[in-house]
Amino acid sequence: MAVHFKMISRVSSSVVRRVANRSFAAAASSPAVLPELAHPYSAYEPNISATIMEIHHSKHHATYVNNLNVNLEAAEKAAQDGDANKLISLAPAIKFNGGGHINHTLFWENLCPPSDYTAPSGAILSEIESAFGSFDAMKSEMSAKTVAVQGSGWGWLGYNTTTKKLEIATCANQDPLEATTGLKPIVGIDVWEHAYYLQYKNVRPDYVNAIWDVIDWKVAGERLEAAM
Amino acid sequence: MKLQIALFVSFLAGSSAYTPGGPVKAKAPQSRRDLLKGLPFLAAGVAASAANAYELPDLPYAFDALEPYIDAPTMKIHHDMHHNTYVTNINNAMKDKPAVDIRDLQADALTAAPGVRNSGGGHYNHAFFWDEMAPHDKAKNTKPSSKLQGMIDSAFGGTEKMKEEWAAKSAPGAVFGSGWVWLVVNGKDELEIVGTPNQDNPLMKGVKDEIKYPILGIDVWEHAYYLKYQNRRPEYVANWWSVVNWDKVNENLDYVLKEHKGVPVRG
């Protein structure tokens, strides 16, 4: 049974990556799709509860996907009609729902079951050490900044292609990292309350501490390689 | 649902203050601050050393009093944990400063010391929120005064239209992340519905085009509804109308029209 899941998860993560890379600019002709998770909802216990994973993926992310498609369709029509005002008025909703789709797709990919956890090594570890001094120092800074997000938002480990260094950034709401800051996303942590509330209530620091043990550093390493 | 109950029970096991069904009476004002309220000319000098200028007001009803519209676990965590944290943090932020009524701290929140905007706003907003609600048995017998109804009709075209605009402005697509939606009196003494992000409110200079005075507000941070409603925010907002205490809203309106100041709150 466990082996079977592993085989599926190997296939699923490459599917997830292909879906994540697919541009959704073509809208109605190529609508955004809710990606499948690489593992069952319960696989991230006890760090993230199965209930949270299920609602987060099948309700929250699914809603971003649906609303993105609705707004993209409307935008396509507005563009065809030459209705600039309409097009512009749709921009906030496209940013919100498109950002939500991008962010959550990246998020699922950078989570792994606690039993699969391995610490960063190789290129990503040396980049982390070079930028922050040590893996622990990076986690410390990212935890502090992520916990400090006011209201809803995300904490990111990102790669700055200009300075060629890793950095930590936070974004509000569903603002996507790359479009907002130019940084390439390496690891994201969702700190909207829906990401942790049912399990951690208002104790966001406990959630952020716990999530470190389910971060997939292999995926992070692949993203860094692609970004460099 | 089972998991929610299990979570709630395990949470209860760690706390002692919750008594299902037991009425929680509002504490009689006995803090130094409350006494100071009656001595404004002494307040500045005496309160300068106030370590805890602000306090968490008790709910004017039991935690389960707003069931089934707002669930008891949410009321307990929202009050005892979230609001309490704002109170602790605003006390820290104001530690070495002269005490200022929380209502009067709002205007300059955007330029004040760090924490005033988030925690001072959070304290005011939540204190405002608890008092505008009442158990449904009481709330259902309250309604807008003729003055308020007239202003609603003139601003929105009626109560139903007002609730439609409220629903639109509180929807997940309108208040994008965390925030509040308010029914306010603007500078022309007209009603408007405005949304503010995070713990901002319309009393803060710079948040809207002018300071506006809330008479009714709803918290649409996820913590305000997640345990019961998860991502179904519109359902929470629709249900919340059933616990709005219009007597208090009418009072708020009268105060705001007369004083052109923010409504005072307990704590």
How do residues A64-110 score in pLDDT, each as one tens digit? Answer: 999 999 999 999 999 999 999 999 999 999 999 999 999 999 999 99
* Cβ contact, residue pair A151, B82, below 8 Å: no
Question: In the prediction, which pLDDT does B22 show?
Answer: 37
Kindly tell me if the per-residue pLDDT of B102 is higher than 50: yes
Amino acid at B181: V
Q: How far B221 CA lies from chain A's nearest CA (Å)?
A: 8
Q: How far, in Å, are A177, A187, A192, A213, B246 from residue A139 at the CA level?
A: 18, 11, 19, 11, 49
Question: In the prediction, which pLDDT does B1 show?
Answer: 46
Restricting to A residues 23-62, those with a Cβ less than 8 Å away from any Cβ of B are 49, 51, 55, 59-60
In angstroms, the CA A128 to CA A122 distance is: 10
**Closest alpha carbon within chain B to A50:** B3
Residue of A65, A97, A173 to mutate, interface with B, max B Cβ within 10 Å: A173
In angstroms, the CA A13 to CA A108 distance is: 9
* Helix locations, A22-170, DSSP H: 50-55, 62-80, 84-109, 122-132, 135-147
Give the pair of three-digit tokens for residue B149.
């109804």
Q: How far, in Å, are A32, A106, B212, B229 from residue A17 at the CA level?
A: 14, 9, 48, 32
State mean pLDDT over B13-33.
40
ipTM of the complex: 0.84
Question: In the prediction, which pLDDT does B96 show?
Answer: 85
* Cβ contact, residue pair A151, B222, below 8 Å: no
Question: In the prediction, which pLDDT does B97 show?
Answer: 86
- Annotated binding-site residues of A for Mn(2+) read 56, 104, 190, 194
Percentage of chain B lying above the pLDDT 70 cut: 81
In angstroms, the CA A219 to CA B77 distance is: 36
Scan for tokens 């008594």, then name that residue: B19
Kindly tell me if the per-residue pLDDT of A122 is higher than 60: yes
- CA atoms in the 13 A half-sphere facing the CB of A34: 14
pLDDT in tens, B49-101: 456 889 999 999 999 999 999 999 999 999 999 999 999 999 999 998 888 99
* Helix locations, B53-120, DSSP H: 72-77, 84-93
Residues of chain A with C-beta less than 8 angstroms from the C-beta of B227: 197-198
Residues of chain A with C-beta less than 8 angstroms from the C-beta of B223: 193, 197, 201-202
Q: How far B105 CA lies from chain A's nearest CA (Å)?
A: 19
Give the three-state DSSP class for B248. Answer: helix
Q: What is the pTM of this model?
A: 0.84
- Annotated binding-site residues of A read 56, 104, 190, 194
Neighbouring-strand partners of residue A94: none
